[in-house]
Structure 1
Amino acid sequence: MKWPTPSSFTSPSPPPPDEPTGFFSRRVRFYQHTYTFRELSLACGAAGVLVLAGSHVFRNYFRRVPTANHIAHHFLRKRSLLGRVTSVGDGDNFRIYHTPGGWLLGWDWLRPIPSVRKDLKDQTVHVRLAGVDAPECAHFGHPSQPYSSEALAWLKEYVGGRRVRAYIHSKDQYERVVATVYVWRGLWRRDVGLEMLKAGMAVVYEAKGGAEFGGRRVQYDAAEARAKHAKLGLWKQAKKKRVSPGMFKKSIREGNS
């Protein structure tokens, strides 16, 4: 009688694993890999989140704003605009061409900024300096105010053609943004409105309410007081002849009524 050898014993094969059931457990082959619907759903969901986040960042930080009318209400007091000054129209306002991302996103060295007037039409943001009021230039047949040409020349020299950052507070009835504006002069970043007050080229904005100062009313009042004491700019005028820009505009409105 031949006894069985150990090699003749065979262990029973393990039962096949239970196949996953349910829609999300089904498998899909993609190139050399097999994925379940659950894994694909998670991957698609993550991709969707990234697309939405990227779209949000682009809309709020890297999309170019052509004009003040394109600025949404939620943008006010929360965002700033970086741009190049293309023209100065008065002693306290000018236009900028928005360049989001600045030099890092190719502006000036890869993406040219238009310089021809027809190319800038409907492509610039009209900015009104917050908290200051400069002497009025001649408009619509009305005479100019003393020191208006000096204030205009000062602002053109100070910001004309330069890159500035405007911290937007509100929009006014003239389709302008009211903003505190900073410009680099040498190694220092300067508040344009504050520097105008220091030079005696503007006064602190006179209003009973609703005026925007960007939290810098105390500094503006102090700068105006120093310029007035030193008789700089428009403060050189005799007190009897001196008229604030606000009163000058009021007299024009009353004369037209």
Structure 2
Amino acid sequence: MKNLAQLSTQLLFASFILAIFLPSGSDAFVAPSWSTTAHASRWQLSPLSFAPSPFSSQASVCKHGILFPPSSPQRLRHAQRAEPLYMAAKRKAAKSVSGKLMPAVQGVMSCATKVLATLFVELKQLSKIQALLFVAIFWIGLTIGRSPSAIGGMALKRFQEASEIPSAFFGPSAPLLRGRVTSCSDGDTIRFLHVPNRFSANKLEKGQTQTEYCLPIRLCSMDTPETAKFGKPGQPFGQEAKEYLQKLLDQKMIKIRLLQKDQYGRAVAEVYAPNGKGCDELMLKKGFAEVYLGGGAVYGPLGKDKYLAFEAQAKKKKLGIWSTGKRESAAEFKKRTKK
């Protein structure tokens, strides 16, 4: 039996390492529920999911690291639950790093899991109070490892859906995210492949789709003319605005700062061209956009008044959308064509 200090340190470290590598989706982790006894020996461990299971000294069946006694009536139910969770988590982990690095990541996760499994067996020798203390240490390690501010946590987790991104990554002081623009839907919406570190794949691989892997991003501060979609006609300069944004961003590595989520499941963000200039500023100066004044409007670091000044400059020079005289705003166009 190891001394308690050594056991505590190993338990905290192993759970922290495992939590960092766990994918951030809700299907990648199942919190164990309390069973009839709180003794730590009843907690069994899987590489990518956790599930409670009765412990027995009999030979047990091991499926993805979860021990199931042959006599356990819960064995089949737990195995059926763990299987899809394991596969879902494995797929999410594969999205976070490049294919070449994945075996190394899986090796680290497997090693941490084995350490935890060994430690949990040793907890059988402790009293109930001691066991509860070590279960608390285990949860502390998981919590720290999965927090946005954890060392290496942000650097290892790729965001693919706005709904799964922690609130710490939104706001004017949020960290910049690096990634590749995989497409421009129109003049103010892009698909962004988050590349959290140099080991992450920075391009979509064969068989990967933008819908599954890339964040939908709405550029802040501005609104551009609508493009033709779903058989509906677009607005004048809608295609030109899209093409200019493509010229600035398409297939290029850029940085963005998330500001908020919108009602369409997108993240509204400050988007910076490779030269460091804000795309909202560039689009407004070229006359391909107007300042967005609708509900929930958020603006880049220069502030609303500065963006209105850029718009006024383009209007004075009769650039782009301001070259046709009387015009219909994007908001008015959407309202009219909805009918």
The verdict on a shared fold, with TM-score over 0.5 as the criterion, is yes
189, 195, 199: which one aligns with 1:106? 199
Could you say which residue in structure 2 is the equivalent of 1:196?
283
Aligned length: 208
- Find the counterpart in structure 2 of residue 251 from structure 1: 336
Letter in 2 for 1:199: K
Q: Residue 257 of structure 2 aligns to a residue in which SS?
A: strand
- The 3-state SS of whatever aligns with 1:249 is helix
**Alignment partner, residue 296 of structure 2:** 210
* RMSD over aligned Cα atoms: 2.5
Percent identity over the alignment is 32
Out of 137, 147, 150, the residue aligned to residue 240 of structure 2 is 150
CA distance in structure 1 between the partners assigned to 2:218 and 2:202 by the alignment: 25
- Match for residue 33 of structure 1? none
Residue of structure 2 in register with 1:225 after alignment = 312
Tell me the equivalent position of 2:43: none
Partner Cα separation in structure 2 for residue 116 and residue 93 of structure 1: 24
User: Quick check: 1:237 aligned with 2:330?
Assistant: no
* One-letter amino acid of the structure 2 residue matched with residue 211 of structure 1: A
Give 2:6's aligned residue.
40
Output the amino acid matched with 1:123.
Y
The structure whose residues are more often strand, as a share, is 1
How many angstroms apart in 1 are the aligned matches of 2:145 and 2:283?
A: 40
8 Å Cα contact 1:68/1:125 also seen in 2: yes
Inter-CA distance 44–247: structure 2 relative to 1 (3 Å threshold): same
Letter in 1 for 2:330: P
- The within-5 A match list for 1:141-180 is 141-180=231-270
Q: Which sections of structure 1, spanning at least 5 residues, go unmatched?
A: 1-26, 29-36
The separation in 2 between residues aligned to 1:138 and 1:81, in whole angstroms, is: 30
More helix by share: 2
Question: TM-score if structure 1 supplies the norm length?
Answer: 0.72
1:193 is matched by which residue type in structure 2?
A: D
Deviation at 1:127, TM superposition (A): 0.4
Paired with 1:130 and 1:85, the residues of 2 have a C-alpha distance of 16
Residue of structure 2 equivalent to 1:12: none
In the alignment, the residues of structure 2 paired with residue 218 and residue 116 of structure 1 have an alpha-carbon distance, to the nearest angstrom, of 45
Return the index of the structure with the highest Cα Rg. 1
TM-score by length of 2: 0.55
Deviation at 1:81, TM superposition (A): 2.4
Cα distance in 2 for partners of 1:235, 1:247 equals: 16
Return 5+ residue gaps in structure 2 as ranges: 18-140
